[in-house]
Structure 1
Amino acid sequence: MSAASSPSTSWPASIVDEAALDDLLSTPTPAAVDAMRSLRGDVIVLGVAGKMGPTLARMVRRATDLAGVTRRVIGVSRFTEAAHEEALRRVGVDTIRCDLLDESAVAALPDAPNVIYMAGRKFGSSGLESLTWAMNAWLPAVVCKRYAESRIAAFSTGNVYGLTPAGRGGSREDDVPAPVGEYAMSCLGRERMFEHFSRTHGTRVAMLRLNYATEMRYGLLVDLARKVLAGAPVDLAMGYANVIWQGDANGMAITSLLHAHTPSYVVNLAGPDELSVRAVCTAFGERFSKPPVFVGAEAPDALLSNGTKGWADLGAPEVPLSQLIDWTADWVARGGASLGKPTHFESRDGRF
């Protein structure tokens, strides 16, 4: 049995709408509830309004309530869309509007012994590399100075590893980074800033190398399903990948606060399957009664991460790949909502 599945878990056959999706994505994992019971003090989520932040913050709130603990859960963002802020407030997450690149504004944020750092920049990096470096490498230093006494769980990416041969289990946390392109280089810069402050100031850090979170509105599986349904060609050059249900990644990230230490604790957040793009597209084609259109051939390497350490420390993913494929096919076939933001996972030159 896959490490992602459980014989006692029962999942809905279909996710009916966005409300049900957000509820499922924010359902606390047992490990997240235990973490919220063990930790003391407020939790502040920096960069909360991104693709993953709202359901993660909501899970912190729900896990806290299930643990019977009283704390503030605070989400910080510019909140360029007021609806995102209101949605968080409705579920008990306090919000603060803040431009995190404004150092004085960061200094004015409330104290919190637990910080989840989600700020970063990826898409649009080509042509505006300086902003990408500011967000990904300078801002962490600002946050570390502000929250030097806190536990910080900071999101990074498996892109810092570079490509690794398929079929060998993926990159591990002790592999030497080999980032390709300025985005990945700036993400390694982010890690080095957190590592520096962890070593010099004693800040407790958990560094989370995510590869790749998926849900129904966004993710690698959504990209592939939409191409198959539309009859668009699927490039096989990046022929293998990892995916993890965003709800599982949320739970692992929350739990990682317990493991934050100095020097930085580094962990991969990745699913247990080395996904074959060809096989997944074929599965979508069967569900849509529409054979996929392939171009090119699989390269011998891909961006792959080994999640063994994370499963042992933070709880194994619960939603198996087969369920993710079923949910995604059903959602896409019904014309479900999309964020309209392709992942560009197929990029092999590090340009986004």
Structure 2
Amino acid sequence: MNFVVSNVNNLETIADVTQLEELLSRPTDALVETMQRVSGDILFLGAGGKLGPSLARMARRAADQAGGNRRIIAVSRFSNQQAERGLQEFGVETVRAELLDTEALRQLPDAENVIYMAGYKFGAFGNPSLTWAMNSFLPGMAMQRFADSRVVAFSTSCVYGLSPWQSAGTVETDPLQPTDEYSMSCIGRERIIDHFSRTHGTSASLLRLNYAVEMRYGVLIDIAQAVYNERPINLTMGHFNLIWQTDANAISLQTLDHVSSPPMVINVVGPETLSVRRVAEEFGQLMGKQPRFNGTESDSCLLTSGERCHQLFGYPSVSAGKLIQWTADWIMRGGPTHDKPTGFQVRDGRY
């Protein structure tokens, strides 16, 4: 079945996982143009997570549309064998590897372009040594191994700490204010990548991503499920912003055309500041439910400004209002989820 539509905002519903996966991996025209300018194979390090499979498939589709012969290679432990088979069937090569193993990292194929996605968040509070190894030590290993590549590295908005919700959100030049070991280890990742970028002249970019969402995972799913199942929602982290995962995927690949030494830093996020309370109330109206709350909104929250991102790549293709509509419909129809809460309410780094 062909699900392609000219404007995804015209979609009233996402029918099933097949259509969802097509949407998440659909390349934009701008990305195809980027692929025509940026040469070389693309290697994804840590591709087995929530974003990795759809991102690798999008790269495969964009590369095919751009023409030429380019390898797309996904590296992960691949504990989810179904995800690995799905990538292989799509034309993405897969490599199983433990990235903290120096010899395994050395044996990975060379690639002109590297998308670095490896990291450790959920469980970080209970395992600080692994957190620092994954988030700060491994990036240095990878930057030395791929010193001659372009490197696009995923980071997180958690490095900024909390900011007043009335503000426009933190910008890339604001001082970093970590509040816990997880966010400190993520700053470690950025500092190490910056160091080796300067030392070896490796062109890189750092993507401070804030809440990419799709129908199976994200802060909207967390809120929608709570409303639908009549569970109370904690309002302490009262505001947030987000971005449709398809847009985050396309932007991350487009930054291959914007890497530099020292690295370019960019917040990847949509333009809207959303209220947890108001989003829950909107879900309540769509679902015929009465949201339940506890706590009150704090003056601060995790909020970033996407102005630089929007200037470079344009506004996201899907609005927050449309994402809320899709999410409510998905949950009411019993659509599958990854069953992995985001922990968006967390204010002390205890993920």
The question of whether the paired residues in 1 share the 8 Å contact of 2:125 and 2:349 is answered with no
The question of whether the paired residues in 2 share the 8 Å contact of 1:235 and 1:295 is answered with yes
The question of whether the paired residues in 2 share the 8 Å contact of 1:252 and 1:315 is answered with no
For residue 69 of structure 1, report the CA deviation from its aligned partner. 2.7
Mapped pair 1:177 → 2:176: yes
For each residue in 1:253-300, what CA deviation from the matched residue of structure 2 results, as whole angstroms up to 9, or x when unmatched? Answer: 000111111001000001110011011000000011111001111111
Report the equivalent of 1:71. 70
Q: After TM superposition, list the pairs within 5 Å mapping 1:323-334 onto structure 2.
A: 323-334=322-333
For residue 314 of structure 1, report the CA deviation from its aligned partner. 2.8
Report the equivalent of 2:195. 196
Rounded to whole Å, the distance in 2 between the matches of 1:191 and 1:113 is 21
Rounded to whole Å, the distance in 2 between the matches of 1:11 and 1:109 is 42
User: What's the secondary structure of 1:266's corresponding residue?
Assistant: strand
Rounded to whole Å, the distance in 1 between the matches of 2:289 and 2:37 is 50
Percent identical:
50
Report the equivalent of 2:92. 93
Rounded to whole Å, the distance in 2 between the matches of 1:315 and 1:194 is 27
The question of whether the paired residues in 2 share the 8 Å contact of 1:45 and 1:118 is answered with yes
User: What's the secondary structure of 1:156's corresponding residue?
Assistant: strand
User: What's the secondary structure of 1:145's corresponding residue?
Assistant: helix
The question of whether the paired residues in 2 share the 8 Å contact of 1:271 and 1:317 is answered with yes
Report the equivalent of 2:152. 153
User: What's the secondary structure of 1:339's corresponding residue?
Assistant: coil
Report the equivalent of 2:309. 310
Rounded to whole Å, the distance in 2 between the matches of 1:49 and 1:315 is 28
Rounded to whole Å, the distance in 1 between the matches of 2:279 and 2:9 is 22
The question of whether the paired residues in 2 share the 8 Å contact of 1:88 and 1:94 is answered with yes
Rounded to whole Å, the distance in 1 between the matches of 2:240 and 2:131 is 24
Amino acid across the alignment from 1:73: I
The question of whether the paired residues in 2 share the 8 Å contact of 1:241 and 1:303 is answered with yes
User: What's the secondary structure of 2:73's corresponding residue?
Assistant: strand
For each residue in 1:302-326, what CA deviation from the matched residue of structure 2 results, as whole angstroms up to 9, or x when unmatched? Answer: 0000001011113321100011001
For residue 331 of structure 1, report the CA deviation from its aligned partner. 0.5
Rounded to whole Å, the distance in 1 between the matches of 2:141 and 2:30 is 30
The question of whether the paired residues in 1 share the 8 Å contact of 2:226 and 2:233 is answered with yes
For residue 223 of structure 1, report the CA deviation from its aligned partner. 0.1
User: What's the secondary structure of 1:153's corresponding residue?
Assistant: strand
Aligned residues: 346
Q: After TM superposition, list the pairs within 5 Å mapping 1:55-70 onto structure 2.
A: 55-70=54-69
**More displaced, 31-40 or 278-287?**
31-40
**More displaced, 37-46 or 309-318?**
309-318
For residue 79 of structure 1, report the CA deviation from its aligned partner. 0.9
Rounded to whole Å, the distance in 2 between the matches of 1:26 and 1:260 is 22
Q: Any stretches of 5+ residues in structure 2 without a counterpart?
A: 1-5
Q: Which runs of 4+ in 1 moved over 6 A?
A: none
User: What's the secondary structure of 2:10's corresponding residue?
Assistant: coil
Q: Any stretches of 5+ residues in structure 1 without a counterpart?
A: 1-6
Report the equivalent of 2:3. none
The question of whether the paired residues in 1 share the 8 Å contact of 2:241 and 2:274 is answered with yes
For each residue in 1:39-75, what CA deviation from the matched residue of structure 2 results, as whole angstroms up to 9, or x when unmatched? Answer: 1110001111100000000000111111123200000
TM superposition score normalised by structure 2: 0.97
Identify if the C-alpha distance between structure 1 residues 54 and 11 changes in structure 2 by more than 3 Å, giving closer, same or farther: farther
TM superposition score normalised by structure 1: 0.97
Mapped pair 1:242 → 2:241: yes
Q: After TM superposition, list the pairs within 5 Å mapping 1:19-168 onto structure 2.
A: 19-168=18-167
The question of whether the paired residues in 1 share the 8 Å contact of 2:9 and 2:318 is answered with no
Identify if the C-alpha distance between structure 1 residues 87 and 9 changes in structure 2 by more than 3 Å, giving closer, same or farther: closer
Amino acid across the alignment from 2:42: V
For residue 219 of structure 1, report the CA deviation from its aligned partner. 0.3
User: What's the secondary structure of 1:299's corresponding residue?
Assistant: coil
The question of whether the paired residues in 2 share the 8 Å contact of 1:44 and 1:75 is answered with yes
Report the equivalent of 1:3. none
For residue 230 of structure 1, report the CA deviation from its aligned partner. 0.7
Rounded to whole Å, the distance in 2 between the matches of 1:29 and 1:181 is 37
For residue 198 of structure 1, report the CA deviation from its aligned partner. 0.7
Q: After TM superposition, list the pairs within 5 Å mapping 1:250-265 onto structure 2.
A: 250-265=249-264
For residue 30 of structure 1, report the CA deviation from its aligned partner. 2.1
Amino acid across the alignment from 1:155: F
For residue 8 of structure 1, report the CA deviation from its aligned partner. 6.1
